[in-house]
Amino acid sequence: MARERKRLLVVDGYNVLRSGSRYRLSSSEDYTDDAFNSARDRLIDDVVSLAGRDSSAIIVFDGAGNQFSTGQPTVVGGVRIVFSPAGQSADKVIEKLARDARERGVETMVVTSDASIQNTVFGYGVDRMSADGFSREVDSYYEQAKLDDSPKVAIKNTLAERISPEALAKLRALRDS
C-alpha cells in the first residue's frame, strides 16, 4: 500500500498562467490558442517536476463555463489535474481542497495571486504563494538542476603534486642516476 504524502501543493492553474512571470499570457488569448495550450502543458510539467516525491499536487483549472466539465480529475505524472465542475468556480474547489487537507493535518500550500483565495485559505491556516513566487521557485529549481547536471572539471593530482619538494628532488636524483 502506498504511503500517503503529508504535503499538498494546490495550484490555481489559470491564475498562474495569467499572473506568473514564467507563463504570463495576455487576457486576449483564448483557452484554445496553441500558446495557451503550450503554457498549460509547461505548467503541468513544472508542477510534476517540482512536486516530485515531496508533495502530492493538484492543479485546478476553471471549468465553470463548460457544461461538460464533471470535475473528475485526471492524473499526469502523479499530479492530479482538475477542471472544476460546470457551474462551480475553480476558486471554490481550491478553497475546499485546502480546507479538507488542513483538517486532515496535511501541510498545504496554495499557489495563486487571487487575493480572495489567499485570504480565505490563510483563514484555514494554509500557506500560500503568489503566481510570481511560484514562477521564481520553478526557475530556481531548474537552474539548480542544471548546475547539478553540469560536468565537473576533474582535478588531476599527480604524485609530484602531492609530495614534498625535498622528497621529489630525491626521487628525481634516483631516477636520473
- Considering the chain, what is the average pLDDT of its residues? 84
- pLDDT top residue among 4 and 172: 172
Task: For residue 18, count other CB atoms closer than 10 A to its CB.
Answer: 18
Burial class (CB in 10 A: 0-12, 13-18, 19+), 92: middle
**Average pLDDT for 103-114:** 92
7 has a pLDDT exceeding 60: yes
* 131, three cell numbers: 503566481
pLDDT of residue 4: 54
Is-above-0.95 flag for pTM? no
Under a CB-based contact definition with an 8 Å cutoff, are residues 38 and 29 in contact? Answer: no
pLDDT class for 68, splitting at 50, 70, 90?
A: confident
For the CA atoms of 150, 53, 62, 133, the dihedral, rounded to the nearest 10 degrees, stands at -50
Question: For the ranges 18-22, 23-27, 105-109, 122-126, which has the lowest average pLDDT?
Answer: 23-27
pLDDT of residue 111: 95
| Residue 20 CA, distance from chain mean position | 12
CB within 8 Å of 24: residues ≥ 6 apart: 17, 18
Domains of the chain: 7-175 (3.40.50)
CA distance 38 to 51: 20
**Average pLDDT for 20-39:** 72
List pLDDT tens digits, range 116-172.
999 999 988 899 999 999 999 998 888 887 776 666 666 667 776 778 888 888 888
Task: For residue 60, count other CB atoms closer than 10 A to its CB.
Answer: 28
**C-alpha distances in angstroms, 158 versus 20, 146, 152?**
51, 30, 18
